[in-house]
Structure 1
């Protein structure tokens, strides 16, 4: 939606411009109109400074704008030009970041971004002055991606701070940052970062075109952009990497990936991505290769346990008792003798309880949430066993399943696990092991059909390539990473 002020321009008459601005910012108490007078070669020139008091640095306005204007003496400064123009004011105002503007649409966007507007009587252009200043959260360790060994820096809600954290780690002029806007009303800034000599140019053009074609009135978080750009919106699997770590972004940029930094969001989107990259953590590359490969396989095991463990238990108890040792069958029969529900109802009740506890602990304040999560699970589990509503084995199964989902380094990867677990339990209760095979067959076929901006989601397994044994199934030593992944520009495969 185009702004109704697009195409409206400043006039030479100050009074008309002031009336128009007051109409635009009507009923906005935080818009300040500071009138100034400048004695220029014996002639009084009227000026007006317009800014939003909540988004600017008051000291910058007072010391670097108002004070130099009031004390400006053209004779003392040896200014012999009799007609005041904006270039003279640019020399007077000691601010880094001054631009001339006429369009009201740009003026409105600039003022709500923390800039100040200076308009002068008799001149049909204004000056946009960089006076931005608003409260920002300091750089802290990311909660969702904590590591034992590695950087403790995490992104904040400031797009300039986040871009600076990446620039500080990649001191290369090939790192480019293009800025676009999304949201017809929010005018949210989006920085597109990439390595010019590595990125696939066709991919870059596709991403820039998709961002420019976004039609929505407001963008307030990275999730908006993710949902508007993904190729398969109904897939349970994420098609972007989501990270709060600058080092992870830098590593992906050197592989030819593209990073999207959204103003107001402490997470950065990385594209394209693959299924195997969801299991990779920056710490894998900080430790020796044997430990990095081992922890990655533990995550793959956690993925399988989180999706299939309750379903396997239900299938064994309901259909395939002969596969279990006799002593174990007798012990399980004793624990289930007083349980009034079949195994599938028992599993669904416990899984729903875990999901409720997970959501409650996530939404409550941190101190209370941790208590609810620990005490609630212990109390509810013990009470359910004592009341013969569930068996002790089911409590153990559900607890191990929850642990399996927590070993994944990316929180968004846990959503497909929670989504797939329930249909797998139902199919296991209906068809036994055959139901589990059906579910896993659907998962594999679905993963093979997915793509992330044209790149196969299951790569490098399907289609298979040498990257499978370099950085997917196992992690080679760092000296084995001489070749970039296939998502990089084909002209620059070699790292060094």
Structure 2
């Protein structure tokens, strides 16, 4: 009886009934989904090794398709395309991201490949296609699947051939981009109207158009495990301090971040300004002519893809106070504009604290300043008036950024006429507070560097509070602390207040005066350039007729 089969199942007691194919398929799919949900890969290399065990290109296209479905979401993401076709009698697949490739160039290449027959690809098909049959400039190959996927994700095309463990990479990128336009922040009356865009290659070409020097180097690297953001270090090789270039390069290479979705600002915080200091350590610019002039002075430029602004390093406080307009005018008028701008920057920092100090301590007023001070009292203390207006101006600035352009002017009129006028008439504010706050705000907006203007505003707030709490001692202590903080603040081992601290008379003259071109013969010594001469010995002012 024990050896008899179970009549209800048709199998012996020791036998396991076979699993139906549908159930087996369902079990495999469930296990596959569980493996996909358990993946925690931080980059493409880890993902390829997780699914395939090693970072190699599968020989069979069937295995390749299966891997791409799990790694990049093939057949799930609508823009990930694997175009399959037969070339020279060999099954071929082309991986690309729809929308990031130049379809005309890709079609031209495919048309050329479809003319091949079996004899053309009899031996070494990858090398044959790469070296003989692709009428294109930028062609490479790779043995790593992760590299092929990464290149496809940045807009290139990867060609896979059945039976081959090597892929062909075609640089067919065509990013969505806008035409170069004049930057909003760095406008000039006379000068070039082209500015950087969000495309790295376009920005580099705008610089090369101005600096046609064989020593202009553009080193590119990728930052971010997930974003794979392109970062370029640009410098003139026979001018720049190579120690500085190496320091910047090492800091970028050592970054192990998830990505740089906010581009250059996040990169700055990662390699330069890592603390809570409000003052910027790099100069941002969107003008190719400004960047070209700094490159010729021996500075290093760091460019990040997807950002229309670039970082210039090292920089100083006085560099951030200069504008391209000064060099577009005659030396006399350029010097005048520079002094006016310096005056506006100083007013944005010290005008309000000094006036408040004279109001709190009227005995400090010299006789010729007796007219200063509120002629009538208000319902709020002076410090409260200043703080309210400070926050009000910042609120208006933020509102202007988020307000459509046709409505921004109307909003400004409402704020200036209704709010300001009514605040004075109701007795909450005095006229002098509104006046001096307006002058300080204009000085902040006249600051060429937006980041420097914000930092100066923070200093103004601290000085106002210090004066309100401690009077003269608070102003002196706050100003001294500011100078100490700026002196100890260093941009890649360069003094932030140079040439004031340490003092250099010649360099300080270059800061205060916009010298004629032929009188400015040397590059700034702070850059530690290998060649500090800007022109030949025969180019002297007296030699020109």
TM range (shorter): over 0.9
Distance, in Å, in 2 between the alignment partners of 1:466 and 1:308 is 25
Of 200, 204, 218, 1:163 maps to 204
1:207 lines up with 2:248 in the alignment: yes
Displacement of 1:322: 5.9
Displacement of 1:212: 0.6
Distance, in Å, in 1 between the alignment partners of 2:149 and 2:526 is 40
Displacement of 1:325: 5.4
| 1:34 counterpart residue number | 83
| 2:158 counterpart residue number | 117
| 2:492 counterpart residue number | 453
Q: Relative to structure 1, is the Cα distance of residues 322 and 462 closer, same or farther in structure 2, using a 3 angstrom cutoff? A: closer
| 2:458 counterpart residue number | 419
Displacement of 1:467: 3.9
Of 249, 254, 268, 2:291 maps to 249
Deviates more, 1:402-411 or 1:191-200: 402-411
Q: Relative to structure 1, is the Cα distance of residues 327 and 116 closer, same or farther in structure 2, using a 3 angstrom cutoff? A: closer
Give runs of aligned pairs for residues 288-367 of structure 1, distance below 5 A.
288-320=330-362, 323=365, 334-336=375-377, 339-367=378-406
For this pair of structures, how many residues does the alignment match?
484
Displacement of 1:286: 2.2
Instruction: Indicate if the aligned counterparts of 2:499 and 2:508 stay in contact, CA closer than 8 A.
Output: no
| 1:273 counterpart residue number | 315
SS at match of 1:412: helix
Displacement of 1:247: 0.7
| 1:83 counterpart residue number | 123
Displacement of 1:84: 4.9
Instruction: Indicate if the aligned counterparts of 1:318 and 1:343 stay in contact, CA closer than 8 A.
Output: no
Instruction: Indicate if the aligned counterparts of 2:355 and 2:373 stay in contact, CA closer than 8 A.
Output: no
1:63 lines up with 2:102 in the alignment: no
Of 517, 525, 538, 1:478 maps to 517
Of 265, 268, 276, 1:234 maps to 276
| 1:11 counterpart residue number | 58
Deviates more, 1:160-169 or 1:344-353: 344-353
SS at match of 1:192: strand
Q: Which has the larger radius of gyration?
A: 2
Instruction: Indicate if the aligned counterparts of 2:348 and 2:456 stay in contact, CA closer than 8 A.
Output: yes
Instruction: Indicate if the aligned counterparts of 1:260 and 1:270 stay in contact, CA closer than 8 A.
Output: yes
Q: Relative to structure 1, is the Cα distance of residues 324 and 362 closer, same or farther in structure 2, using a 3 angstrom cutoff? A: farther
Q: Write the deviation string for residues 183-231 of structure 1: whole angstroms up to 9, x where unpaired.
A: 1110000010001001111111100000011121010221001111125
Q: Relative to structure 1, is the Cα distance of residues 156 and 326 closer, same or farther in structure 2, using a 3 angstrom cutoff? A: closer
Distance, in Å, in 1 between the alignment partners of 2:359 and 2:424 is 18
Q: Relative to structure 1, is the Cα distance of residues 341 and 24 closer, same or farther in structure 2, using a 3 angstrom cutoff? A: same
Displacement of 1:172: 0.3
Displacement of 1:93: 2.2
Displacement of 1:277: 0.2
| 2:38 counterpart residue number | none
Displacement of 1:53: 0.8
SS at match of 1:487: helix
Q: Relative to structure 1, is the Cα distance of residues 271 and 366 closer, same or farther in structure 2, using a 3 angstrom cutoff? A: same
SS at match of 1:137: coil
Distance, in Å, in 2 between the alignment partners of 1:364 and 1:224 is 26
Give runs of aligned pairs for residues 362-377 of structure 1, distance below 5 A.
362-377=401-416
SS at match of 2:231: strand
TM-score where L is the length of structure 1: 0.93
Deviates more, 1:201-210 or 1:104-113: 104-113
Distance, in Å, in 2 between the alignment partners of 1:31 and 1:109 is 12
Q: Relative to structure 1, is the Cα distance of residues 169 and 322 closer, same or farther in structure 2, using a 3 angstrom cutoff? A: closer
Distance, in Å, in 1 between the alignment partners of 2:154 and 2:253 is 20
| 2:542 counterpart residue number | none
Give runs of aligned pairs for residues 142-181 of structure 1, distance below 5 A.
142-181=183-222
SS at match of 1:451: coil
Distance, in Å, in 1 between the alignment partners of 2:369 and 2:516 is 46
Of 90, 99, 111, 2:140 maps to 99
Of 488, 503, 508, 1:464 maps to 503
Distance, in Å, in 1 between the alignment partners of 2:393 and 2:529 is 47
Distance, in Å, in 2 between the alignment partners of 1:206 and 1:326 is 54
TM-score where L is the length of structure 2: 0.85
Displacement of 1:173: 0.5
Distance, in Å, in 2 between the alignment partners of 1:214 and 1:247 is 30
Q: Which runs of 5+ in 1 are unaligned?
A: none
Q: Write the deviation string for residues 347-383 of structure 1: whole angstroms up to 9, x where unpaired.
A: 1111111111111112222222333234322221011
Distance, in Å, in 2 between the alignment partners of 1:327 and 1:304 is 19
Distance, in Å, in 2 between the alignment partners of 1:355 and 1:364 is 14
Q: Write the deviation string for residues 117-151 of structure 1: whole angstroms up to 9, x where unpaired.
A: 11111211011112212310110000011011211
Distance, in Å, in 2 between the alignment partners of 1:332 and 1:472 is 34
